[in-house]
């Protein structure tokens, strides 16, 4: 499985610029997964030990609000990284993730990678750099959403 996945991992924009030995380590923690439309990828509160690089499809980050029902906060599509709660303690998901469409993704074993990052700090640095960009990108987008820019005030 490792042989067939490595070229795919290398292709992903997210890992661009990483050294071959790190790609190798990461691929060792990767596997292909698929989700049918409507299926749950992870639930709020569950242990967060994976993360997903979406290759195809659409995933919704959702929150169950008592009187409002299941509310989608954000959706993620191809080439987007799903999940960063695996990085930092307490390693618990903050939201539900549900496939809106048939979704193909690379699933990475977060627990395994955490251990590898502890051993190889260079790997840790490279992954943290990339995840920081993901998180800050989401933060900026969320702030824009908060501004309710289509509302009364421009």
Residues contributing to the site for other proteins (CB under 8 A): 58, 60, 69-75, 77-80, 100-101, 140-141, 144-145, 147-154
Cα-flanking dihedrals φ and ψ of residue 136, to 5°? Answer: -70, -35
CB of 20 to other proteins, least distance (A): 26
CB of 79 to other proteins, least distance (A): 6
**Which DSSP symbol is given to 15?**
G
* Residue among 65 and 89 whose Cβ is closer to other proteins: 65
CA–CA separation, 81 and 134 (whole Å): 7
CA–CA separation, 51 and 55 (whole Å): 13
* Residue among 1 and 39 whose Cβ is closer to other proteins: 39
CA–CA separation, 147 and 150 (whole Å): 9
CB of 106 to other proteins, least distance (A): 16
CB of 44 to other proteins, least distance (A): 16
CA–CA separation, 90 and 107 (whole Å): 20
CA–CA separation, 107 and 119 (whole Å): 21
Q: How far is CA 96 from the centre of its chain?
A: 12
């Amino acid at each position: 499985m490792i042989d067939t996945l490595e070229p795919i991992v290398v292709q992903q924009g997210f890992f661009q610029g990483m050294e071959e030995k790190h790609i190798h380590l990461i691929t060792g923690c990767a596997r292909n997964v698929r989700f049918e439309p409507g299926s749950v990828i992870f639930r709020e509160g569950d242990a967060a030990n994976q993360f997903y690089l979406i290759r195809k499809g659409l995933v919704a980050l959702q929150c169950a609000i008592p009187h409002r029902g299941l509310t989608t906060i954000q959706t993620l599509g191809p080439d987007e990284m799903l999940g960063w709660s695996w990085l930092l303690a307490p390693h618990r998901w903050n939201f539900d993730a549900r496939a809106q469409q048939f979704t193909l993704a690379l699933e990475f074993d977060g627990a395994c990678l955490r251990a590898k990052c502890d051993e190889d700090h260079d790997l840790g640095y490279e992954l943290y750099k990339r995840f920081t960009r993901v998180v800050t990108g989401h933060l900026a987008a969320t702030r824009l959403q908060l501004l309710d820019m289509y509302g009364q005030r421009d």
